[in-house]
Structure 1
Amino acid sequence: MTLRSVTTAVMLGLAAVGSAPAAIAHPVAAARAPALLPLEQAFMKAATDLFAKLPAGGGEVTMVIDPLIDGITGIQSAATRGFDRRIAELVAERYPHVKVLAFTPENVAKARFVFIGTFNTINNAGQPGGDRDAFWICFALVEREAKTVYARSVARSTVGDVDIAPAASHADSPVWGLDAATRAYIEACQRSQPGTPVSPAYLDQLGAAARIREAGAAYEAGDHRRARDLYREAQAQPGGDQLRVLNGLYLSYAALGETGAADETFGQMVERGFSLGRLGVKFLFEPNSTAFNADRKLSASYPAWLREIAMRATRAGVCLEVVGHASRTGPETLNDRLSRERAERIAGLMSSQAPGMSQRLRATGVGFRETLVGLPRDDASTAVDRRVEFKTAPCA
């Protein structure tokens, strides 16, 4: 993290003491690591294994694709979006009895299956603390009316040069975290077997999820007014009160110059962090430094963010442990020091925003010992590894 001449991202997080890591599942440790396939072969294996389990001879089968996500962070990436397209193309080429419908609220209500999938780094031997030396692909078909997993398949691939940089609407979002709907999506794929019930936290928000996809597409196309309106529609639907909706609303308000609404929405996300147990707020730092990025277009919002965080924390009356993290590049000792110093910088700025917070903050650093993506990269794909977490702690 510290040796490249690039701007690094640090994420501020709020996490309850003792809360579980963001990862939902890990492969079981094995005496001998499974063989890895090139990414294309692994994708085809997982896809063909899954679709071979579909009913045959019973007429047309309808399906929608809920955009695939990283199975640890919940973020859509260039790679997961590529999988979305490939699945639709593969079905059109090889499975004429399967009809892929656009992921809209109207089609969700009539499709038999919802295709879901996760794609994330793992240690191939199943060692939780080991190097992330493989990608894990998981695909599943959720039978909507039966509310169960109908079929599931998995495969593993070599890491290679895979583009896992966050998609634009995720990269721009100021906040990262896993809410109940995203966790339920991941669990339905990674912890399921055929016949496993799917959580209502996922099923009940499918209409909202479809609207969120439309809103994200509008934002990325530069139509911020339409994005704002679609995010509002999503929020009003069952299960639509989600962190990703608040992120989208914040981005849309900010792009439209609706500063008051943007600040209030950011504050709501901070408060959501206390209830979810984990919340990341992205800050960009200069390389090997505790100074924020010099580009004012990137850092202009930081004072408002810090003000909201300090105000909401003071209002909640909580004490916080500020823990710095680093990605897996650079010497361990240097990453330990820099992660601690950046946590101290955040704590100091919060204290200046709300002097009463100074006695309720403690800063520490853990280097790269608790990474989420875990790859030795220093780019947008590992931004969540370069984070500072706030953990609620008992006040002395």
Structure 2
Amino acid sequence: MSSSPESVASSPTKSASNVEAKAGLLSQPRAVWAVFFACIIAFMGLGLVDPILVTISEKLHATPSQTTLLFTSYNAVMAVAMLVTGMISSRLGIKWTLLSGIVIIAIFSALGGLSNNIWALVGLRGGWGLGNALFVATALAAIVSLSNSGTAKAIILYEAAIGLGISVGPLLGGWLGGMSWRGPFLGVASLMVIAFIGLIALMPNAKPKNVSQTKTSLKDPFKALKHRSLLVFGIAAALYNFGFFTLLAFAPFVMGLDEHGIGFVFLGWGILLAVTSVFMAPILQRRFGTVKSMCFMLTIFAIVLAIMGIWTSTQWVIIAAVIFAGALLGNNNTLITTAVMNSAPVERSTASAAYSFLRFIGGAIAPYFAGKLAEWYNPSTPFYVGAAFVLLSVIFIALNHNHIKHVDNAEVGH
């Protein structure tokens, strides 16, 4: 039986799809691994600072709410900067945008390590956020575009890099912070130099074949948010990030541990985040679908935050809750990132920028708000409020289910 012209014409596409489907998670081009390892180092920066929040508060005579501004300025600048990352990367190219981000992180983290008051440190963390925005948004788009194993596996790889960076970061931060609170800042700057050398040596200058050559404008992320599905995920992530950054920025103040102790707690948190993002999230996606799995994880996370609010003064409960939350956050991060990449017919870098803009607005407000709630009321209140916001994200997703249910069908295609 002879093949029809249509079947012959479609066979190369089918063949390419089959090759992509069969490509393993570890079967990646050299450029993907270059970005992967740079991501690990970049995300170590977030975890490095966490164990020294209490020490910074004491050494620089700052209140908890002032100290949590280190997260607020970082996330606020990241949120705004996300809007221009696409425009910059479409002109500089992926490689040079990543390198620019790394250089900015190195400079501002080094200056932070040399600063002498909380307000200078808060401002310098904002500069760090600018560098991180350039790197993070471009890194996700780079790994997805350069990968030969499909969007889903590329996102798992990206989330694994985040998990590894976040898990190793606190351990190193606790060790360096035990010597001086300046150590982690100077440590980040040193690690960024290593990441810079790695990308220069391993990542090619040429653009990936499946990356658009069209220059992105400042309006594109806002245009992308006209797609209801992308807007829904962005708002849901902003609400969810209230809980995420309440845990990350405020939990160290109620743990009653030193730098090393906090470092080990967040090491456990980060390990569970990394493992679940790679191994558990894909199983949940296949068995229950992306949206249902996401809502389940967020609901459990809201319950965990509520438990932290009830037993704030019980040290082992706080420690166990933080570590367990890593598993919930690892799953959810992979689930929601995959959903965003499949949510709207726009460039992946543009979708990432639009989504991240909304997501980091939540991350900017939550840390400072958590510190003020503790000062106004008591240390339990931030966890209760964080739980309410996370639960609100689940309700918001459920109310807009008709606008986002197509992401599960899109994922089947990958």
Q: TM exceeds 0.5?
A: no
Normalized per residue, which structure has more strand?
Answer: 1
Normalized per residue, which structure has more helix?
Answer: 2
Q: Which has the higher contact order (CA 8 A, sep 6+)?
A: 2
